[in-house]
Chain A
Amino acid sequence: MRDLDTTFAALADPTRRAILARLAKGEASVTDLAEPFAMSQPAISKHLKVLERAGLISRGRDAQRRPRRLEARPLRDATQWLENYRRFWEAQFGRLDALLHDLQTGDPKIKNSRIRKKKSAR
């Protein structure tokens, strides 16, 4: 199984991310992929090799065009990790939001006990 390091290293380059964004819309040949970039085909092929090694893209069946297409799984793993990390901290911060709300509105669980004592003394 390919690890996340390889995926993230491949994703760290803006050209390669742009290539993936293009492939997310459907498969494309090397010529198609090279078009939007001011880059030679060999330069694009180099990026494609990195993406291929990371398992992020594969080659289609058409032997002549050899179109590249997006492979969803490694990307899904990487996305899932980022989502997990976000979710982890969002869960912490969400609880902190609730706590801060309670502190400001005087939730009975954390309300200053002095106030309650005063009330009951009346």
Chain B
Amino acid sequence: MKNSGTFNITAHGDREIVVTRVFDAPRRLVFDAYTKPELIKKWLLGPDGWSMPICEIDLRAGGKYRYVWRKDSDGREMGMGGVYREVVPPERIVVTEVFDEAWYPGEAVDTIVLVEQHGVTTLTQTILYNSRETRDAVLKSPMRTGMAASYDKLEKFLPSLGREALSA
């Protein structure tokens, strides 16, 4: 994939995880892909074998959203939702996120910022947890969550070391 190398995840400060990624498209389109249900359902499908039967969005400050994914083989469902705090097309979204089966206390706040240069858009998504303990719990509990991030630079270190260890 052309832009795979632009994908980065890091822990930031005490309470944040930051995800960045570059897309070959104007930010207006990236903004649409993140906010229009008919478009979200085409890409935010989760792991292989899952689909996204519910994607409801009331795109305005104070408006709610709800996502539900379903594992097609056994019908197992996972849901999440939250409230938009800021909606500034096509550059900025601030939104809360709470999972139905909460695997961390309280709600997290996502800030999505889109910056466009020469038709190429850089996405920066900052997930702010309610405490350092929560953020670290998310980082340290990958198996429970399936959604976590690496320690600073660890991800850069591990793959190469992992390869060496595998060939050892």
Query: Among A33-41, A47-55, A96-104, A114-122, which stretch is in contact with chain B?
Result: A96-104
B48 at interface, CB cutoff 8 A: yes
Q: Beyond A5-B140, A104-B25, is A97–B2 a contact (Cβ under 8 Å)?
A: yes
Provide the bound-state CA to CA distance between A103 and B46, in Å. Answer: 21
In the A-B complex, list the 6 residue pairs whose CB atoms are closest, starting with the nearest: A79-B162, A95-B43, A100-B25, A24-B164, A72-B165, A96-B43
User: Counting CB contacts under 8 A, is A64 at the interface?
Assistant: no
Known contacts A97-B24, A101-B24, A24 near B142 by CB under 8 Å: no
Q: Restricting to B64-84, which residues have a CB under 8 Å from any CB of A?
A: none
A-B contacts, CB under 8 A, total: 125
Q: Nearest chain A CB to B108's CB is how many angstroms away? A: 16
Chain A at the B interface: SS class: helix
Residues of A within 8 A of B146 (CB): 84-85, 88
A8-41 contact mask (Cβ, 8 Å, vs B): 1 or 0: 1101100001001100110000000000000000
Whether A92 pairs with B168 at a CB distance below 8 angstroms is no
**Residues of the A chain whose Cβ atoms lie less than 8 Å from the Cβ of B161:** 17, 20-21, 24, 75, 79
- Interface size in chain B (residues, C-beta < 8 A): 45
Contact code string B127-168 (vs A, CB < 8 Å = 1, else 0) = 000000000000111110011111100110111011011101
Residue B95 lies at the interface, judged by CB distance under 8 Å to chain A: no
State the Cβ distance, B68 to closest chain A Cβ, in Å.
Answer: 16
Residue of B nearest to A94 (CB): B1
Assess the B33–A96 pair: CB atoms within 8 A. yes
Which residues of chain B come closer than 8 Å to A12, judged between CB atoms? 151, 154
B44 touches A92 (CB 8 A): yes
Closest Cβ–Cβ distance, residue B30 to chain A (whole Å): 7
**Which residue of chain B has its CB nearest to the CB of A102?**
B42
Residues of A within 8 A of B45 (CB): 92, 95
Q: 7 A-B contacts, Cβ less than 8 Å apart?
A: A76-B165, A79-B158, A79-B165, A82-B154, A86-B9, A93-B1, A93-B4
Question: Which A residues are CB-close (under 8 A) to B162?
Answer: 75-76, 78-80, 83
Contact in complex: A91, B48 (CB < 8 Å): yes
Closest to B1 in A: A94
Is the pair B1, A103 in contact by a Cβ cutoff of 8 Å? no
A46 to chain B, nearest CB (A): 20
